[in-house]
Amino acid sequence: MLFSLKKMSQVACAALAISLSFHVSANEPKLNAEQQKLKKVYESNDIRGGLIGLCKSDNAKNKSLTAAEVSKLCTCTIDGRGRESLSEQWALQSAANAKDEKKIQSIMTTRQNAFKKCLGPDLTKKVDKLAQEAYEAALAEQQKQQAKK
């Protein structure tokens, strides 16, 4: 559980940083491909639908989940982010800046519980298993790279 909370806090901080960098750099003449896609979505008449679509296309290559599971995962992710208030985002960023692990854990536990409720128990188990496998693979790769040095 602690792994999930720590990983989720890192993911949340990264997502916040990406979203902030998009807003800051949206007016720059040269946007990377991901920023171009996001800009297009934010200019559309259905931002929520566009974000879910981007999520689905980004996860379409993942053969571990069915199309229906990817759809559910993306819908829960985007809807969860959409329900976050600006003050909640600030609280998380403030806690991250202060390196206040207890506050980060509290915020992420609340978010994680809502996310798991949306996903349901079966998809939650599957996503947790995939996250653990990805973490272990990344750790093994990191150790492999350090061994080469």
Would residue 61 be called left, alpha or beta, if left means φ above 0 and alpha means ψ between -120 and 50 degrees? alpha
In the structure, what pLDDT confidence band is assigned to residue 29 with cuts at 50, 70 and 90? low
Residue 131 lies in a domain: no
pLDDT in tens, 69-89: 999 999 999 999 999 999 999
Whether residue 128 is contained in a domain is answered as: no
Give a yes or no: residue 42 inside a domain: yes
pLDDT band with cut points at 50, 70 and 90 for residue 63: confident
Residue 148 domain-assigned (yes or no) = no
Residue 62, in any domain of the structure: yes
Go through 108-123 and write b for each residue having 16 or more CB atoms within 10 A of its CB, e for each that does not: beebbeebbebbeeeb
**If you average pLDDT over residues 127-134, what whole number do you get?**
92
Domain that holds residue 84: 2-120
DSSP tag of 10: H
- Give a yes or no: residue 38 inside a domain: yes
Choose the most confident range, by mean pLDDT, from 2-11, 54-63, 76-85, 140-149: 76-85
Answer whether residue 141 is part of any domain. no
65 belongs to a structural domain = yes
Number of domains in the chain: 1
pLDDT at 149 (0 to 100): 76
